[in-house]
Amino acid sequence: MKVTFLGAAQTVTGSCYKLECDSARFLVDAGMFQGNKEIEKRNYTTDRYDPKKLDFILITHAHIDHSGLLPRLVKKGFRGKIYTSEPTRDLLEIMLLDSAHIQEMEAEYVNRKRSRRGGGEVEPLYTQADVEKTLPLIETIRYEDAFEPVAGITVRFRDAGHILGSAFIRIEYQHGEKTTSLLFSGDLGRPAQLIVNDPAVAKTPDYLFLESTYGNRNHKDDSNSLDELAEAVQYSYSHGEKVVIPAFAVERSQQIIYSLFLLYKQGRLPADMPVFLDSPMAIRATEVFRKHPEYFDETTRNYLQNGEDPLDLPNLKFTLSTAESQAINSTSGPAVVISASGMATAGRIKHHLKHNLWRPGASVVFVGYQGVGTPGRKIVGGASKIRLFGEDVAVKARVFTINGFSGHAGQSELLGWVRRFHADRMKVFLVHGEPVAQQAFAELLKTELALEVHVPDHLEEVTLEPGRILETVRHAEQARPSVDWDFLVGDSSRLMQELQNRVSGLKEKNWVEQTEIRDRLMTVNRLMVELISEI
């Protein structure tokens, strides 16, 4: 069995692994790369996925960084089956159509600019029509049911406890008298999360492909999360301002509604304080959640049996239209506003930040991971202002970071899950994590559990047999460059100074060239930081 790491290799985006053996060629996940422009270019290099030659695809869950390239692969010729859980199928319909709309809008924007310059048009990564061709290929699988997508390969989905319908996937490959077992964790959830069950216990595989998003740290004590949310609500209510919560549309938005429901039951959510769910996708996702109560945990099912809906509130308002969204900020007074995206990179949340971030009595509550370079990360990191819609907006609101809502297992939770394996012969590949987190967790797995751990590079290929790795191939394009320290302390500094001088010397009307040079300057600076971090 050969495994190629097409994504989520020393990064937390673009999850995708291509598996090849005598009987089949298939993918586990087909995630979109999200982040800076350089990493997003990988979304267009889908030829290396061999879409026309793929027999099938397995999807762990609906998040775009695990599923967002499915329509692209269909556009490029994939015609096999896509296997996933029923809630994931329903969520994919919402999320992929929304993603396609974004791709179309971005292409239209770029083409308008190119047209003014006399350039050619670009195509969107994929369109809503490509999504419509993708959805009929999905076949739903129940947790625990073993199935054979092709002869000689057995697959089983089990509850990963990350979001509704999320799964980790066990694959057994029969070749001759030998059986090789691989387990892909997908994104692993946390014990005692709202709505979903705890991650299931898995049978020990030969090879574990384990996410490591929080491999170097634990989350805050969950018991404080409700108190912190209540504090943010009370702070802004007392000042007559709004609580703005950037939240991912799937799972996190529903968890926040659930948490506000608990505060309401405790009398800590003011009865006259409206709560707006201002995200069309989150609204539709909430309806999908209500459609699948059989995937809820016992506590949530008990509420429903007692006639209470944790995904509803007396003062909860869904704002689907743009006009309804705009009205939120044109109306004074306190309110809770839940909106996407969770890292404040796009969507209606940016408008809410523009209208409220500069207000001292407002609150901004971050309830999830904030990627490097995102507006959310800048605010959490203490920025005094951020750029929104071409304008510098001061950060005067009170900023709360509540990590207890994270859907990813923290370091100790990851370790606790792995401890339940009989790991004397298991080998671990750490994926879906940033290098610092992966290095820390790899050392912990080695010292605490005596495991053999490997952190693969992007596009790295490994050939596996039971209990051993036969071959590892690192391609030249993803090999790490050697560090020329004289260049770093000499020539690079002069280059940065030259670029800064050029920016200062340009006339204001040359804003396009200014922007391009600033982008280059930021790239040089980022590369220096990355290289220096390897010392």
Same domain, 242 and 354: yes
Same domain, 54 and 174: yes
The radius of gyration of the chain's CA atoms, rounded to the nearest angstrom, is 24
Same domain, 392 and 435: no
Residue 130's pLDDT is: 98
Last residue in a domain, options 405, 420, 446 = 405
Same domain, 278 and 129: no
What confidence tens digit (pLDDT) does each residue in 212-247 have? Answer: 999 999 987 666 889 999 999 999 999 999 999 999
Same domain, 304 and 173: no
Same domain, 105 and 234: no
Mean pLDDT of 336-365: 94
Worst-scoring range by mean pLDDT, 21-30, 117-126, 480-489?
Answer: 480-489
What confidence tens digit (pLDDT) does each residue in 389-440 have? Answer: 999 999 999 999 997 888 899 999 999 999 999 877 899 999 999 999 999 9
Same domain, 63 and 166: yes
Instruction: Pick 340 or 210 by higher pLDDT.
Output: 210
| pLDDT-based confidence at residue 346 (cuts at 50, 70, 90) | confident
Q: Is 39 exposed, middle or buried (0-12, 13-18, 19+ CB in 10 A)?
A: middle
Same domain, 340 and 433: no
Last residue in a domain, options 361, 388, 405 = 405
Mean pLDDT of 86-96: 97
Q: What percent of the chain has pLDDT over 90?
A: 74
Mean pLDDT of 335-349: 91
Domain extent, residue 372, equals: 225-405
What confidence tens digit (pLDDT) does each residue in 498-507 have? Answer: 545 555 555 4
What confidence tens digit (pLDDT) does each residue in 156-168 have? Answer: 999 999 999 999 9
pLDDT at 488 over 80: no
Instruction: Pick 122 or 77 by higher pLDDT.
Output: 77
| pLDDT-based confidence at residue 38 (cuts at 50, 70, 90) | confident
Specify whether the CB–CB gap between 55 and 173 falls below 8 A. Answer: no
User: What does the alpha-carbon distance between residue 257 and residue 277 come to, in Å, rounded to a whole number?
Assistant: 9
Same domain, 103 and 15: yes
User: What does the alpha-carbon distance between residue 193 and residue 404 come to, in Å, rounded to a whole number?
Assistant: 9
Question: Residue 352 to residues 260, 277, 411: CA-CA distances in angstroms?
Answer: 19, 12, 33
Question: Residue 412 to residues 213, 417, 430, 441: CA-CA distances in angstroms?
Answer: 12, 9, 15, 10
Q: What global pTM score does this model have? A: 0.84
Last residue in a domain, options 355, 370, 405 = 405
Same domain, 362 and 424: no
pLDDT at 73 over 80: yes
Mean pLDDT of 480-487: 36
CATH of the domain at 441: 3.60.15.10
CATH of the domain at 319: 3.40.50.10890
User: What does the alpha-carbon distance between residue 272 and residue 329 come to, in Å, rounded to a whole number?
Assistant: 17
Residue 501's pLDDT is: 53
pLDDT at 110 over 90: no
Residue 481's pLDDT is: 37
What confidence tens digit (pLDDT) does each residue in 283-297 have? Answer: 999 999 999 999 999
Mean pLDDT of 476-499: 42
What confidence tens digit (pLDDT) does each residue in 431-453 have? Answer: 999 999 999 999 999 999 999 99
Same domain, 519 and 375: no
What confidence tens digit (pLDDT) does each residue in 355-388 have? Answer: 999 999 999 999 987 877 889 999 999 999 999 9
pLDDT at 96 over 70: yes
Residue 219's pLDDT is: 82
Total domains in the fold of the chain: 3
Residue 509's pLDDT is: 38
Residue entry with tokens 């001061």: 394
Residue 529's pLDDT is: 42
Instruction: Pick 270 or 176 by higher pLDDT.
Output: 270
pLDDT at 512 over 60: no
The SS3 of residue 393 is: strand
Same domain, 81 and 200: yes
